Amino acid sequence: MTSLVNARGVSKHFGAVRAVDDVSFEIEQGRILGLIGPNGAGKTTLLKAVLGLTDCDGDLSVLGLDPFRQRKELLKDICFIADVAVLPRWIKVTQLLDFVESVHPNFSRRRAEVFLSQTTVRSTAKVRELSKGMVTQLHLSIIMAIDAKLLVLDEPTLGLDIIFRKEFYGNLLNDYFDENRTILITTHQVEEIENLLTDIMFINDGRILLDEPMDSLADSYVELVTSGENAIKAKGLGPIAEQEIFGKEVLLFEGVSRENLEDLGELRTPSVADLFVAKVKRARR
Amino acid sequence: MISNQIALIKREFWEHRSIYVTPLAIATIVTLSVLAMLVFASGFAKELDVAIFGASNLAGEGERKAALTAFFVGTSWLFLVALAVLTVFYCLDSLYAERKNKSILFWRSMPITDAETVLSKLITAAVVIPAVAVLGIVATHIVNLISTSIWVSMKGGDAGLLIWDSVPFIDNWSAAFIVVMATGVWMSPFIAWFLFVSAWTKRAPLLMAFMPLIVVPLLEWIFLRTRFFASAVLDRGDAMPLFRTLDFESFFEEEHWRAGIDSISLLGHLDVVRFMTSPSMWGGIIVCALFVTAAIYVRRYRDES
């Protein structure tokens, strides 16, 4: 596997605030990594460092390049949609295509036009005349028409209704993703994307709390639904989170084998959202 | 690099339509004013006959040339004033609006450096806007000569002799080109200052750009009783070393060149070599480079979110 992003001891400080604090990770080609964190966790700062939009301390290499110092070179093979990177409202759809075609060596106008023809976005419209959902469709059509190695999505579906959100991820998976492409995505709506992720990373207060392939989550984490005596026994095994639902205890374990738990109640794999909440609460304790 | 610049400058035309709408508006105003004048003059039939007779038979080619050059200079002057106002607003908006409307991250997601982007704004302000203004000047000139020719012919005059044989096209147009383009270069430190303010300020770019130009000379005068800043900066508009015998302000005043009516030439008043070798011009370019570098630095290093 080729490592596309390689971070070793990456930090970014804003005065006394450590937005990203000594973070190390790798992203391999052909993966879809979900970067999940609460507001102010350092997600966007980390993404900006990866995109070369902000400088940082430590060693960070993206596609073998120093993202901040070789940003122009890097942006030929990397694209991003950020909730804050809005398309200019004054521009016409055709002008946008003209512009990207002129400056981006890996952009296929034909592909973008095919994607756009599947939407209700008119090519003569100005961005200001489009709904938020249509603007996202337009942006996604442009991004999907760029033959990039790494796609970074920062809260790409924020403010969109469920239909647009489903369509967005559907297009991304069916029309864009293949083994040569890699996607790094952050979102608050983690339940909606957990099925499409191959890897997951949790970040809180600038530090990584979890960095694992989705496949191995079921091996590392298990949720036990139990009650009474069994619950007391299970708590002795050191769950990382506990909650009570409908009179039953739901205990989340890390690194405890299923054999040790299966006699104590019903076992299930925790959802990413539950795991995330448990990890963040534990980190804040 | 060059194809990126072309795309970026094209982008400026899309975003700032005033770059071509302003010259169009000025051209329309000038043309309508000339038409109004011609209609007004038509009311004085007797005087008109005398004037056309005089212009055809009594006046020499030099005088006809002088009158037509005066007409050209008068209309061109409007373009220069509009160009100055347009350039100030364009520059102040160019790196500010993209931050205000949050499209900066989209632009920065394209494989273009911040230096290329800022440079495209500088080229637009210092070269493209003046070039569009020159085109506007020439087009307005032609349109108005045509309408005046038709009018003269309708009044029984010989438009070929009175107008087309008497307009010093090459002289007028070359001089307009040189003056307008040189003004872009001469005022480039201001252009770069406005670009820097546009990239740097969080609010009120117009105020931020002009306040130092007023406050600094005032403070200098109050505390030091000198006016170095004012003479170097505020008086720069009058000190353009392009004009041989005239200062910039009186360049467009008719009396100054009426004396040498037989050898009337706008080009004759221009000294391009003096301009190109002027330390003030090169000093201005250095100041321009410093502010442009600062604008690039701010766009690249400041975290906007």
Looking at the structure, tell me whether residues A193 and A220 fall in a common domain: no
Strands A248-254 and A221-226: antiparallel
Pairwise CA distance, residues B134 & B137, whole Å: 5
Which of A181, A205, A229 is the last residue in one of the domains? A205
Q: Which of A43-57, A120-134, B55-69 has the lowest mean pLDDT?
A: B55-69
* Whether the predicted pLDDT of B2 surpasses 90: no
Looking at the structure, tell me whether residues A180 and A230 fall in a common domain: no
Residue range B162-178: mean pLDDT, rounded: 87
Looking at the structure, tell me whether residues A231 and A148 fall in a common domain: no
Pairwise CA distance, residues B298 & B293, whole Å: 9
Model pLDDT for residues B90-110, shown as the tens digit of each residue: 999 999 999 998 899 899 889
Q: Give contacts of A79 with chain B, Cβ < 8 Å.
A: 109
Nearest-CA residue of chain A relative to B16? A90
Model pLDDT for residues A242-252, shown as the tens digit of each residue: 888 888 889 89
- Identify the pLDDT of residue B114: 94
Which of A184, A205, A226 is the last residue in one of the domains? A205
CATH of the domain at A137: 3.40.50.300
Separation in Å, CA of A197 to nearest CA in chain B: 24
* Whether the predicted pLDDT of B303 surpasses 70: no
Model confidence at A1, pLDDT cuts 50, 70, 90, reads low
Q: Which two tokens stand for residue A86?
A: 């809005």
> Are the beta carbons of A24 and A56 closer than 8 angstroms?
no
Separation in Å, CA of A181 to nearest CA in chain B: 18
- Identify the pLDDT of residue B60: 67
Looking at the structure, tell me whether residues A86 and A222 fall in a common domain: no
Nearest-CA residue of chain A relative to B4? A103
pLDDT higher for A231 or B112?
B112
Contact status of A79 with chain B (Cβ, < 8 Å): yes
Separation in Å, CA of A188 to nearest CA in chain B: 18
* Whether the predicted pLDDT of B9 surpasses 50: yes
Share above pLDDT 70 across residues of chain A, in percent, rounded to a whole number = 99
Question: Mean pLDDT across chain B, nearest whole number?
Answer: 87
Q: Which of A187-201, B7-21, B249-263 has the lowest mean pLDDT?
A: B249-263
Helical (H) or strand (E) element with B229: helix B228-229
Looking at the structure, tell me whether residues A139 and A276 fall in a common domain: no
Half-sphere exposure of B28 (CA within 13 A, CB side): 6
* Whether the predicted pLDDT of B254 surpasses 70: no
Q: Indicate the burial class of A179 (C-beta count within 10 angstroms; 0-12, 13-18, 19 or more).
A: exposed
Q: Which residues contact B86 (CB under 8 A, 6 or more apart)?
A: B18, B19, B22, B129
* Whether the predicted pLDDT of B61 surpasses 50: yes
Of A53, A90, A104, the CB nearest to B108: A53
Determine the residue among A53, A79, A91, A151 to mutate to test chain B binding: the one whose Cβ has the most chain B Cβ atoms within 10 Å.
A53
CATH of the domain at A246: 3.30.70
Model pLDDT for residues A68-83, shown as the tens digit of each residue: 999 889 998 998 887 7
Of A84, A91, A100, the CB nearest to B110: A100
Q: Give contacts of A90 with chain B, Cβ < 8 Å.
A: 14-15
Whether residues B109 and A79 touch (CB distance < 8 A) is answered with yes
Q: How far is CA A151 from the centre of its chain?
A: 10
Q: Which residues contact A213 (CB under 8 A, 6 or more apart)?
A: A198, A199, A200
- Count of domains forming chain B: 1
Residue with tokens 């005239």: B246
- Identify the pLDDT of residue A85: 55
In this predicted complex, what is the ipTM? 0.85
- Identify the pLDDT of residue B59: 65
Looking at the structure, tell me whether residues A227 and A259 fall in a common domain: yes
Examine residue A211 and state whether it is found in any structural domain, yes or no.
no
- Count of domains forming chain A: 2
Q: Which of A151-155, B154-158, B252-256, B278-282 has the lowest mean pLDDT?
A: B252-256
Q: Which residues contact A223 (CB under 8 A, 6 or more apart)?
A: A250, A251, A252, A253, A267, A268, A269, A270, A274
- Identify the pLDDT of residue B237: 77
Contact status of A88 with chain B (Cβ, < 8 Å): yes
Contact status of A75 with chain B (Cβ, < 8 Å): yes
For chain B, how many helices (H) and strands (E)? 16, 0
Contact status of A267 with chain B (Cβ, < 8 Å): no
Whether residues B112 and A95 touch (CB distance < 8 A) is answered with no
- Identify the pLDDT of residue B250: 54
Query: Which among A24-33, A148-157, A269-278, B72-81 has the top mean pLDDT?
Result: A24-33
Which of A205, A232, A262 is the last residue in one of the domains? A205
- Identify the pLDDT of residue B248: 47
Query: Which among A36-50, B48-62, B281-295 has the top mean pLDDT?
Result: B281-295
Contact status of A99 with chain B (Cβ, < 8 Å): yes
Contact status of A158 with chain B (Cβ, < 8 Å): no
Model confidence at A97, pLDDT cuts 50, 70, 90, reads very high
* Whether the predicted pLDDT of B142 surpasses 90: yes
Determine the residue among A20, A72, A104, A144 to mutate to test chain B binding: the one whose Cβ has the most chain B Cβ atoms within 10 Å.
A72
Looking at the structure, tell me whether residues A117 and A192 fall in a common domain: yes
Q: Give contacts of B305 with chain A, Cβ < 8 Å.
A: 44, 48, 84
Structural domain boundaries enclosing B82? 2-301
Separation in Å, CA of A37 to nearest CA in chain B: 17
Contact status of A73 with chain B (Cβ, < 8 Å): yes
Share above pLDDT 90 across residues of chain B, in percent, rounded to a whole number = 53
Q: Which two tokens stand for residue B115?
A: 């230096």
Residue range A210-221: mean pLDDT, rounded: 89
Residue range B151-168: mean pLDDT, rounded: 81
pTM listed for this prediction: 0.86
Q: Which residues of B touch A (CB under 8 A)?
A: 3-4, 6-8, 10-11, 14-15, 98, 101-103, 105-113, 301, 303, 305
Question: Mean pLDDT across chain A, nearest whole number?
Answer: 88
Examine residue A8 and state whether it is found in any structural domain, yes or no.
yes
Looking at the structure, tell me whether residues A8 and A142 fall in a common domain: yes
* Whether the predicted pLDDT of A160 surpasses 80: no
Structural domain boundaries enclosing A272? 216-284
Residue with tokens 């979110």: B305
Looking at the structure, tell me whether residues A200 and A237 fall in a common domain: no
* Whether the predicted pLDDT of B288 surpasses 90: yes
Examine residue A90 and state whether it is found in any structural domain, yes or no.
yes
* Whether the predicted pLDDT of B63 surpasses 80: no
